[in-house]
Amino acid sequence: MNNFSYIKKIGFHVLLGLAIYAVSFLSKVYLFAICVYFANQILTAKPSQKPVQVLLACAYVVGSEVFIRMTGGNFLYEASKYLVILFVFMGLFTTRLPSQPIGYIMYLFLLLPGIIVAGLNSSPGSNLRTDIAFNLSGPVCLGIVALFCYKRKISFQNLNIVLLYMALPLVSMTVYLFFYTPDVRATVTGTGSNFAASGGFGPNQVSTVLGLGMFVLTARFFMLSPNLFLKIISGVILAAMSFRGVVTFSRGGILTALFMIAAYLFFYFKKVNIKAKFRITRLVVIFTALALSVWLISSLQTGGLIENRYANRDALGREKEDVTTGRSDLISFEFNEFLNNPVFGVGVGKIKVLREQKEGLLAASHNEVSRILAEHGLFGVFAFLILLLAPMVLRFKNKNNVFFYSFYLFWFLTVNHSAMRIAAPAFVYGLCLLDVRFKTKRKLKLPVRKSLK
């Protein structure tokens, strides 16, 4: 992708965010256009290009998911996960798997007993289909993406385009957020998550995807902005996205982004030569100044309350008792239910019902690890171990992917603070499994001259 094409794409998505803010119905048209455009791209691509087209389609859907939910464009709440599954199936049926992903086939089968247990324990008033769709769409999406990505070759250049496609809809969402809440100061009343500054939607999900966008823009700032103009564009978008992420007052997505960026810079710095190390060091100074500026503006716009939020204090500066904002209680309950039902678990979607019956609290899990243990029992333990260990085994054999630990951290940290409410952790996990290749220059073979005797 050349620089002009990149700028055109950014400009289009800036206008798209403004258009959807002005006419909310366009969000539905946007989702329909995504379905048609990317389905056509996959179907008409050459066999050698289909895998990349599938990844581009999934990346764009993942990037647009929260924006479309926020603006009421979804025909189903989990539509984005279903779209990712559909696009991956289109790829699975039209391309060969590069390797047999036995571990991920086992992972998908390990989810089945939980469905059976849920069916056996289903009460007359419950909706089994909805429970399964809500709780298993994420894990199943992850398993299917993993099947497709496992040891699949991709060039480093194409991987960066995949990441860009994930960030483009987030540019639109950032523009939308600035128009939706231009005056952040007027919406801040305490240190709780700020729905008004999150486009009227869930701050946790908004913060998570904006954090992912922060990582992608950071990578472009350091690696794919060869001139000052492109660095300014990447820096401005990064600053805007970071500011909107911070003022959601949802810490999980922003802290995850910082871990991703730190991992990326560490391994990128290790990989390059001395000359590039000096260049990166200079850019880190600029990047740090940019980050401090965003934090200062965020603090001024929130009257200093954002500092209290990250210091785990209330609006009056008093330290809060629970840094997890109630998540630890949910995890504790789920772990106790795992101990009570260690083999088969309580069944898919049943932990929420049990929590309401026993504690009078109707709350969905925020932690995918404790949820899979409680609802799937011992089968869930094995399923999670496959997810945890399989990428690390691949990493020992192939260390080409400079983004590996960033992707891995995003998946692990996100499922621990936000479960799998969105498709992003499922897809980004799949990116860990790709076999990233770098183009090497061909060596020129010189003709061998016979020596004269």
321-332 pLDDT, tens digit per residue, is 766 666 788 888
Residue 372: which pLDDT band, with cuts at 50, 70 and 90? very high
Q: Is 211 within 8 Å of 253 (Cβ atoms)?
A: yes
What is the structure's pLDDT at 325? 63
User: How far apart (Å, rounded) are the C-alpha atoms in residues 401 and 433?
Assistant: 9
What is the structure's pLDDT at 131? 78
Highest averaged pLDDT of the listed ranges 15-19, 354-358, 399-403, 420-424: 15-19
Domain that holds residue 219: 3-436
In a domain, 146, yes or no: yes
Structure tokens at 145: 């993406």
In a domain, 442, yes or no: no
What is the structure's pLDDT at 305? 93
The answer for residues whose C-beta is within 8 angstroms of residue 67's C-beta and 6 or more apart is 20, 27, 169, 170, 172, 173, 176, 209
Reference 74, options 86, 87, 61; nearest CA is 61
In a domain, 61, yes or no: yes
Structure tokens at 78: 């989990």
Query: 367 or 28: whose pLDDT is higher?
Result: 28
Instruction: Output b/e per residue, 182-191; b: 16+ Cβ within 10 A.
Output: eebeebbeeb
What is the structure's pLDDT at 323? 65
Query: 325 or 135: whose pLDDT is higher?
Result: 135
pLDDT digits (tens, 9 = 90+) for 375-405: 999 999 999 999 999 999 999 888 889 999 9
Mean pLDDT of 283-309: 95
Q: For residue 360, what is the enclosing H or E element?
A: none
Tokens 């390059």 belong to residue: 272
User: How far apart (Å, rounded) are the C-alpha atoms in residues 320 and 316?
Assistant: 11
> pTM score, two decimals?
0.93
What is the structure's pLDDT at 102? 93
Residue 120: which pLDDT band, with cuts at 50, 70 and 90? confident
Structure tokens at 421: 């409410």
What is the distance, to the nearest Å, from the Cα of residue 434 to the centroid of all Cα atoms in its chain? Answer: 16
Whether 353 has a pLDDT exceeding 90, the answer reads: no
In a domain, 289, yes or no: yes
User: How far apart (Å, rounded) are the C-alpha atoms in residues 198 and 325?
Assistant: 18
Reference 310, options 248, 259, 251; nearest CA is 251
Structure tokens at 169: 């809809």
What is the structure's pLDDT at 375? 92
Reference 201, options 360, 412, 27, 409; nearest CA is 27
In a domain, 441, yes or no: no
Residue 451: which pLDDT band, with cuts at 50, 70 and 90? very low
What is the structure's pLDDT at 216? 97
In a domain, 346, yes or no: yes
Taking CA atoms, 29 is separated from 16, 24, 33, 410, in Å, by 11, 10, 6, 30
User: How far apart (Å, rounded) are the C-alpha atoms in residues 318 and 412?
Assistant: 31
Residue 46: which pLDDT band, with cuts at 50, 70 and 90? very high
Mean pLDDT of 27-53: 96
What is the structure's pLDDT at 100? 86
What is the structure's pLDDT at 36? 97
Mean pLDDT of 295-318: 89
Q: Is 211 within 8 Å of 195 (Cβ atoms)?
A: no
In a domain, 265, yes or no: yes
Beta bridge partners of 436: 154
What is the structure's pLDDT at 130? 80
What is the structure's pLDDT at 330? 83
Whether 103 has a pLDDT exceeding 50, the answer reads: yes
Q: What angle do CA 308, 314, 317 make, to 5 degrees?
A: 65
* Number of structural domains the chain divides into: 1
Whether 453 has a pLDDT exceeding 60, the answer reads: no
Mean pLDDT of 351-379: 84
pLDDT digits (tens, 9 = 90+) for 188-246: 888 888 999 999 998 999 999 999 999 999 999 999 888 889 999 999 999 999 999 99
In a domain, 33, yes or no: yes
**Lowest-pLDDT range, 132-136, 376-380, 411-415?**
132-136
User: How far apart (Å, rounded) are the C-alpha atoms in residues 200 and 190?
Assistant: 16
Tokens 């982004």 belong to residue: 257
